[in-house]
Amino acid sequence: MTSIGIFGANGRMGRALVQVIKEQELSLAVATVRSGSSWLGQDAGELAGCGKLNLALTETSAAAVAEADVWIDFTMPEAMLEHLKLAVAAKKAIVIGVTGLSDAQYQQVQQASQHIPIVWAPNMSVGVNLMLHLVQTAAKVMGETADIEIIEAHHRYKKDAPSGTAMAIGTSIASSLNRDLAECAVYGREGITGEREHNTIGFATVRGGDIIGDHTALFADLGERLEITHKASSRTTFAQGAVRAALWLQNKQPSLYSMQQVLGLTKLD
Ligand SMILES: NC(=O)C1=CN([C@@H]2O[C@H](COP(=O)(O)OP(=O)(O)OC[C@H]3O[C@@H](n4cnc5c(N)ncnc54)[C@H](OP(=O)(O)O)[C@@H]3O)[C@@H](O)[C@H]2O)C=CC1
Ligand SMILES: O=C(O)C1=N[C@H](C(=O)O)C[C@H](O)C1
Protein backbone atom coordinates (compact mmCIF):
# COMPACT_ATOMS: atom_id res chain seq x y z
CA MET A 1 0.00 0.00 0.00
CA THR A 2 1.24 3.50 -0.84
CA SER A 3 2.45 5.26 2.30
CA ILE A 4 1.61 8.94 2.60
CA GLY A 5 3.41 11.75 4.41
CA ILE A 6 1.84 15.08 5.35
CA PHE A 7 3.77 18.32 5.80
CA GLY A 8 2.05 20.79 8.14
CA ALA A 9 -0.19 18.16 9.72
CA ASN A 10 -1.42 20.64 12.37
CA GLY A 11 -2.89 23.08 9.83
CA ARG A 12 -6.57 23.24 8.81
CA MET A 13 -5.89 21.21 5.68
CA GLY A 14 -3.30 19.06 7.44
CA ARG A 15 -5.94 17.90 9.92
CA ALA A 16 -8.51 17.31 7.17
CA LEU A 17 -5.95 15.14 5.36
CA VAL A 18 -5.29 13.04 8.46
CA GLN A 19 -9.05 12.47 8.83
CA VAL A 20 -9.52 11.44 5.19
CA ILE A 21 -6.50 9.10 5.22
CA LYS A 22 -7.91 7.43 8.31
CA GLU A 23 -11.45 7.18 6.87
CA GLN A 24 -10.09 5.60 3.69
CA GLU A 25 -7.94 3.18 5.71
CA LEU A 26 -4.79 4.31 3.88
CA SER A 27 -1.28 4.28 5.31
CA LEU A 28 -0.17 7.52 6.97
CA ALA A 29 3.57 6.98 7.52
CA VAL A 30 4.70 10.43 8.69
CA ALA A 31 3.03 13.66 9.77
CA THR A 32 5.32 16.63 10.26
CA VAL A 33 5.03 20.03 11.90
CA ARG A 34 7.49 22.91 11.89
CA SER A 35 10.65 22.81 14.05
CA GLY A 36 9.93 23.84 17.62
CA SER A 37 6.15 23.50 17.18
CA SER A 38 4.18 23.01 20.37
CA TRP A 39 2.43 20.10 18.60
CA LEU A 40 5.62 18.00 18.33
CA GLY A 41 5.13 14.53 19.81
CA GLN A 42 1.34 14.77 19.92
CA ASP A 43 -0.65 12.03 18.20
CA ALA A 44 -1.62 13.08 14.64
CA GLY A 45 -5.06 11.43 14.86
CA GLU A 46 -5.91 12.97 18.22
CA LEU A 47 -4.95 16.42 16.95
CA ALA A 48 -7.11 15.90 13.85
CA GLY A 49 -10.03 14.82 16.06
CA CYS A 50 -10.35 11.34 14.56
CA GLY A 51 -8.96 9.23 17.40
CA LYS A 52 -5.52 7.91 18.27
CA LEU A 53 -3.40 6.75 15.31
CA ASN A 54 -0.26 5.98 17.33
CA LEU A 55 1.63 8.34 15.03
CA ALA A 56 3.52 11.14 16.76
CA LEU A 57 3.94 14.46 14.94
CA THR A 58 7.61 14.85 14.02
CA GLU A 59 9.88 17.60 12.77
CA THR A 60 10.39 17.95 9.04
CA SER A 61 13.73 16.39 8.11
CA ALA A 62 15.43 14.38 5.36
CA ALA A 63 15.07 11.25 7.51
CA ALA A 64 11.32 11.84 7.96
CA VAL A 65 10.81 12.46 4.23
CA ALA A 66 12.49 9.14 3.39
CA GLU A 67 9.79 7.28 5.34
CA ALA A 68 6.81 7.91 3.01
CA ASP A 69 6.27 7.10 -0.68
CA VAL A 70 4.37 10.28 -1.52
CA TRP A 71 3.98 13.61 0.26
CA ILE A 72 1.16 16.15 0.53
CA ASP A 73 1.84 19.82 1.27
CA PHE A 74 -0.75 22.42 2.26
CA THR A 75 1.50 24.81 4.14
CA MET A 76 2.72 28.22 2.95
CA PRO A 77 4.88 29.11 -0.08
CA GLU A 78 8.25 29.51 1.67
CA ALA A 79 7.81 26.42 3.82
CA MET A 80 6.55 24.39 0.85
CA LEU A 81 9.68 25.25 -1.17
CA GLU A 82 11.88 23.96 1.67
CA HIS A 83 9.81 20.76 1.77
CA LEU A 84 10.10 20.48 -2.00
CA LYS A 85 13.90 20.49 -1.79
CA LEU A 86 13.73 17.55 0.63
CA ALA A 87 11.30 15.70 -1.66
CA VAL A 88 13.60 16.22 -4.67
CA ALA A 89 16.64 15.02 -2.70
CA ALA A 90 14.74 11.89 -1.61
CA LYS A 91 13.11 11.41 -5.07
CA LYS A 92 9.60 11.42 -3.57
CA ALA A 93 6.42 12.41 -5.41
CA ILE A 94 4.49 15.33 -3.93
CA VAL A 95 1.01 16.86 -4.11
CA ILE A 96 1.04 20.61 -3.50
CA GLY A 97 -2.10 22.60 -2.67
CA VAL A 98 -0.39 25.80 -1.54
CA THR A 99 -1.67 29.02 -3.14
CA GLY A 100 -0.33 32.57 -3.25
CA LEU A 101 2.89 31.56 -5.05
CA SER A 102 4.86 34.32 -6.80
CA ASP A 103 5.90 33.67 -10.41
CA ALA A 104 9.43 32.90 -9.18
CA GLN A 105 8.11 30.43 -6.61
CA TYR A 106 5.93 28.72 -9.22
CA GLN A 107 9.02 28.42 -11.47
CA GLN A 108 10.80 26.59 -8.64
CA VAL A 109 7.94 24.08 -8.56
CA GLN A 110 8.24 23.68 -12.33
CA GLN A 111 12.00 23.10 -12.05
CA ALA A 112 11.53 20.51 -9.30
CA SER A 113 9.08 18.63 -11.54
CA GLN A 114 11.99 17.80 -13.85
CA HIS A 115 13.22 15.51 -11.06
CA ILE A 116 10.08 14.19 -9.31
CA PRO A 117 6.36 13.80 -10.16
CA ILE A 118 4.32 16.72 -8.78
CA VAL A 119 0.63 17.61 -8.75
CA TRP A 120 0.08 21.29 -8.03
CA ALA A 121 -3.49 22.59 -8.01
CA PRO A 122 -5.01 25.64 -6.31
CA ASN A 123 -8.19 23.67 -5.72
CA MET A 124 -8.48 19.88 -5.41
CA SER A 125 -12.28 19.64 -5.49
CA VAL A 126 -14.09 17.93 -8.38
CA GLY A 127 -16.58 20.78 -8.66
CA VAL A 128 -14.04 23.58 -9.05
CA ASN A 129 -12.07 21.60 -11.62
CA LEU A 130 -15.27 21.08 -13.60
CA MET A 131 -16.01 24.80 -13.17
CA LEU A 132 -12.67 25.60 -14.86
CA HIS A 133 -14.11 23.95 -17.99
CA LEU A 134 -17.60 25.43 -17.67
CA VAL A 135 -16.26 28.99 -17.51
CA GLN A 136 -14.38 28.42 -20.75
CA THR A 137 -17.61 27.47 -22.53
CA ALA A 138 -19.36 30.50 -21.03
CA ALA A 139 -16.48 32.76 -22.06
CA LYS A 140 -16.57 31.47 -25.64
CA VAL A 141 -20.34 32.10 -25.91
CA MET A 142 -20.74 35.31 -23.88
CA GLY A 143 -17.26 36.64 -23.19
CA GLU A 144 -16.88 39.04 -26.09
CA THR A 145 -19.89 41.15 -25.04
CA ALA A 146 -20.41 40.38 -21.35
CA ASP A 147 -18.48 41.97 -18.47
CA ILE A 148 -16.60 39.29 -16.55
CA GLU A 149 -16.11 39.45 -12.79
CA ILE A 150 -14.76 36.78 -10.42
CA ILE A 151 -15.94 36.94 -6.83
CA GLU A 152 -14.45 34.81 -4.07
CA ALA A 153 -15.15 34.49 -0.35
CA HIS A 154 -13.04 32.74 2.30
CA HIS A 155 -12.55 32.52 6.06
CA ARG A 156 -10.94 35.28 8.12
CA TYR A 157 -7.63 33.38 8.47
CA LYS A 158 -6.81 33.15 4.77
CA LYS A 159 -3.50 34.85 3.99
CA ASP A 160 -3.51 35.29 0.20
CA ALA A 161 -5.85 37.19 -2.12
CA PRO A 162 -7.35 36.74 -4.60
CA SER A 163 -7.56 33.02 -3.93
CA GLY A 164 -5.55 30.63 -6.07
CA THR A 165 -8.83 29.27 -7.41
CA ALA A 166 -10.03 32.74 -8.45
CA MET A 167 -6.74 33.23 -10.31
CA ALA A 168 -7.16 29.85 -12.02
CA ILE A 169 -10.72 30.77 -13.07
CA GLY A 170 -9.41 34.08 -14.43
CA THR A 171 -6.62 32.31 -16.31
CA SER A 172 -9.08 29.80 -17.85
CA ILE A 173 -11.41 32.57 -18.99
CA ALA A 174 -8.62 34.79 -20.31
CA SER A 175 -7.02 31.96 -22.27
CA SER A 176 -10.30 31.04 -23.97
CA LEU A 177 -10.71 34.72 -24.98
CA ASN A 178 -7.06 35.04 -26.11
CA ARG A 179 -6.48 37.68 -23.45
CA ASP A 180 -3.46 37.98 -21.16
CA LEU A 181 -4.74 37.95 -17.57
CA ALA A 182 -1.76 40.01 -16.38
CA GLU A 183 -2.88 42.79 -18.72
CA CYS A 184 -6.67 42.64 -18.30
CA ALA A 185 -7.10 41.86 -14.57
CA VAL A 186 -8.55 44.53 -12.25
CA TYR A 187 -8.09 43.74 -8.54
CA GLY A 188 -10.70 45.70 -6.58
CA ARG A 189 -12.04 49.22 -7.22
CA GLU A 190 -12.16 52.38 -5.13
CA GLY A 191 -12.94 56.06 -5.71
CA ILE A 192 -13.81 57.63 -9.06
CA THR A 193 -12.86 54.66 -11.17
CA GLY A 194 -14.62 55.76 -14.35
CA GLU A 195 -16.77 53.45 -16.42
CA ARG A 196 -15.84 49.83 -16.65
CA GLU A 197 -13.29 49.06 -19.35
CA HIS A 198 -14.83 46.40 -21.49
CA ASN A 199 -12.10 43.81 -21.92
CA THR A 200 -11.10 43.69 -18.26
CA ILE A 201 -11.66 40.77 -15.89
CA GLY A 202 -12.50 42.02 -12.40
CA PHE A 203 -11.72 40.30 -9.10
CA ALA A 204 -13.53 40.87 -5.80
CA THR A 205 -12.42 39.35 -2.50
CA VAL A 206 -14.54 38.74 0.61
CA ARG A 207 -12.99 37.54 3.90
CA GLY A 208 -15.02 36.55 6.92
CA GLY A 209 -15.83 34.01 9.61
CA ASP A 210 -15.49 30.36 8.71
CA ILE A 211 -16.39 30.46 5.00
CA ILE A 212 -14.61 27.43 3.55
CA GLY A 213 -14.43 28.72 -0.04
CA ASP A 214 -16.97 30.21 -2.48
CA HIS A 215 -16.21 31.18 -6.08
CA THR A 216 -18.47 32.85 -8.65
CA ALA A 217 -17.68 33.68 -12.26
CA LEU A 218 -20.12 36.37 -13.39
CA PHE A 219 -20.80 37.08 -17.06
CA ALA A 220 -22.92 40.26 -17.00
CA ASP A 221 -24.39 41.48 -20.27
CA LEU A 222 -27.18 43.97 -21.01
CA GLY A 223 -30.49 42.29 -20.19
CA GLU A 224 -29.09 39.09 -18.71
CA ARG A 225 -26.30 37.67 -16.63
CA LEU A 226 -24.90 34.22 -16.07
CA GLU A 227 -23.33 33.21 -12.75
CA ILE A 228 -21.37 30.01 -12.32
CA THR A 229 -20.84 29.35 -8.62
CA HIS A 230 -19.04 26.73 -6.59
CA LYS A 231 -19.36 26.55 -2.80
CA ALA A 232 -17.24 24.22 -0.68
CA SER A 233 -19.04 23.25 2.52
CA SER A 234 -16.18 21.21 4.00
CA ARG A 235 -12.39 20.94 3.65
CA THR A 236 -12.94 17.20 3.22
CA THR A 237 -13.55 17.76 -0.48
CA PHE A 238 -10.06 19.31 -0.90
CA ALA A 239 -8.44 16.62 1.25
CA GLN A 240 -10.13 13.80 -0.69
CA GLY A 241 -8.87 15.34 -3.94
CA ALA A 242 -5.34 15.62 -2.58
CA VAL A 243 -5.31 12.00 -1.40
CA ARG A 244 -6.68 10.89 -4.78
CA ALA A 245 -3.84 12.84 -6.45
CA ALA A 246 -1.26 11.26 -4.13
CA LEU A 247 -2.37 7.73 -5.05
CA TRP A 248 -2.53 8.68 -8.75
CA LEU A 249 1.06 9.99 -8.63
CA GLN A 250 2.56 6.63 -7.66
CA ASN A 251 4.84 5.35 -10.44
CA LYS A 252 4.36 8.46 -12.59
CA GLN A 253 7.33 9.97 -14.43
CA PRO A 254 8.76 13.31 -13.20
CA SER A 255 6.50 16.08 -14.52
CA LEU A 256 4.14 18.79 -13.30
CA TYR A 257 0.62 17.33 -13.41
CA SER A 258 -2.71 19.13 -12.96
CA MET A 259 -5.82 18.15 -11.04
CA GLN A 260 -7.57 18.04 -14.43
CA GLN A 261 -5.25 15.16 -15.34
CA VAL A 262 -5.80 13.41 -12.00
CA LEU A 263 -9.59 13.64 -12.42
CA GLY A 264 -9.56 12.67 -16.11
CA LEU A 265 -11.14 16.01 -17.10
CA THR A 266 -8.67 16.80 -19.88
CA LYS A 267 -10.96 14.88 -22.26
CA LEU A 268 -13.42 17.80 -21.86
CA ASP A 269 -10.88 20.13 -23.59
N1 LIG B 1 -5.51 23.40 -3.27
C2 LIG B 1 -6.57 23.31 -2.48
O3 LIG B 1 -7.54 22.59 -2.74
C4 LIG B 1 -6.57 24.09 -1.21
C5 LIG B 1 -5.52 24.90 -0.93
N6 LIG B 1 -5.43 25.54 0.29
C7 LIG B 1 -4.21 26.28 0.52
O8 LIG B 1 -3.43 25.52 1.45
C9 LIG B 1 -2.63 26.40 2.23
C10 LIG B 1 -2.83 26.13 3.71
O11 LIG B 1 -4.15 26.45 4.07
P12 LIG B 1 -4.67 26.13 5.57
O13 LIG B 1 -4.55 24.69 5.88
O14 LIG B 1 -5.99 26.81 5.67
O15 LIG B 1 -3.59 26.97 6.41
P16 LIG B 1 -3.17 26.80 7.96
O17 LIG B 1 -2.63 28.14 8.36
O18 LIG B 1 -4.24 26.20 8.76
O19 LIG B 1 -1.96 25.74 7.91
C20 LIG B 1 -0.71 26.10 7.39
C21 LIG B 1 0.32 25.06 7.79
O22 LIG B 1 1.59 25.48 7.29
C23 LIG B 1 2.52 25.55 8.36
N24 LIG B 1 3.48 26.62 8.13
C25 LIG B 1 3.21 27.91 7.84
N26 LIG B 1 4.36 28.61 7.72
C27 LIG B 1 5.36 27.73 7.93
C28 LIG B 1 6.77 27.83 7.93
N29 LIG B 1 7.39 28.98 7.67
N30 LIG B 1 7.51 26.71 8.16
C31 LIG B 1 6.90 25.55 8.43
N32 LIG B 1 5.55 25.38 8.44
C33 LIG B 1 4.81 26.45 8.19
C34 LIG B 1 1.67 25.84 9.59
O35 LIG B 1 2.39 25.55 10.75
P36 LIG B 1 2.22 26.49 12.06
O37 LIG B 1 0.82 26.25 12.53
O38 LIG B 1 3.27 26.03 12.97
O39 LIG B 1 2.40 27.92 11.57
C40 LIG B 1 0.48 24.92 9.30
O41 LIG B 1 0.82 23.59 9.61
C42 LIG B 1 -3.01 27.82 1.77
O43 LIG B 1 -2.10 28.23 0.77
C44 LIG B 1 -4.38 27.62 1.16
O45 LIG B 1 -4.72 28.59 0.22
C46 LIG B 1 -6.38 25.40 1.25
C47 LIG B 1 -7.47 24.62 1.01
C48 LIG B 1 -7.66 23.90 -0.24
O1 LIG C 1 -7.23 29.04 1.90
C2 LIG C 1 -8.23 28.31 1.71
O3 LIG C 1 -8.96 27.95 2.63
C4 LIG C 1 -8.50 27.86 0.34
N5 LIG C 1 -7.62 28.14 -0.57
C6 LIG C 1 -7.64 27.72 -1.92
C7 LIG C 1 -7.54 28.92 -2.84
O8 LIG C 1 -6.80 29.87 -2.53
O9 LIG C 1 -8.15 28.90 -3.92
C10 LIG C 1 -8.75 26.78 -2.25
C11 LIG C 1 -9.98 26.85 -1.41
O12 LIG C 1 -10.84 27.80 -1.94
C13 LIG C 1 -9.71 27.07 0.06
Position 240 pLDDT exceeds 80: yes
Give me the half-sphere count of Cα atoms (radius 13 Å) on the Cβ side of residue 78: 1
Contact 174, 226 (CB under 8 A): no
CA of 239 to the centre of ligand 1 (A): 13
The fraction of the chain above a pLDDT of 90, given in percent, is 97
Position 268 pLDDT exceeds 80: no
Task: Quickly state the pLDDT bin for 257 (edges 50, 70, 90).
Answer: very high
Quick one: average pLDDT of 68-79? 98
pLDDT digits (tens, 9 = 90+) for 13-69: 999 999 999 999 999 999 999 999 999 999 999 999 999 999 999 999 999 999 999
Helix (H, G, I), strand (E, B) or coil at 123: coil
Question: Which of 57, 59, 74 to probe ligand 1 with, by most ligand atoms within 8 A of CB?
Answer: 74
Query: Is residue 127 in contact with ligand 1, taking CB distance under 6 Å?
Result: no
Ligand nearest to the CA of 120: 1
Position 234 pLDDT exceeds 80: yes
Is 88 annotated in a binding site? The answer is: no
- Between the CA atoms of 60, 61, 62 and 67, what dihedral angle is there, to the nearest 10 degrees? -60
CA of 224 to the centre of ligand 2 (A): 29
Task: Quickly state the pLDDT bin for 76 (edges 50, 70, 90).
Answer: very high
**Average model confidence (pLDDT) for the chain?**
97
Position 269 pLDDT exceeds 90: no
Task: Quickly state the pLDDT bin for 252 (edges 50, 70, 90).
Answer: very high
Position 210 pLDDT exceeds 80: yes
- Nearest-CA residue for atom 12 of ligand 2: 213
Task: Quickly state the pLDDT bin for 267 (edges 50, 70, 90).
Answer: confident
Contact 71, 95 (CB under 8 A): yes
* Atom nearest to 152 CA in ligand 2: 12
pLDDT digits (tens, 9 = 90+) for 141-188: 999 999 999 999 999 999 999 999 999 999 999 999 999 999 999 998
DSSP-assigned letter for residue 43: B
Position 85 pLDDT exceeds 90: yes
Q: Is 40 exposed, middle or buried (0-12, 13-18, 19+ CB in 10 A)?
A: middle
- Nearest-CA residue for atom 21 of ligand 1: 75
Q: Is the pTM of this model over 0.90?
A: yes
The residues that are catalytic are 154, 158
Position 266 pLDDT exceeds 90: no
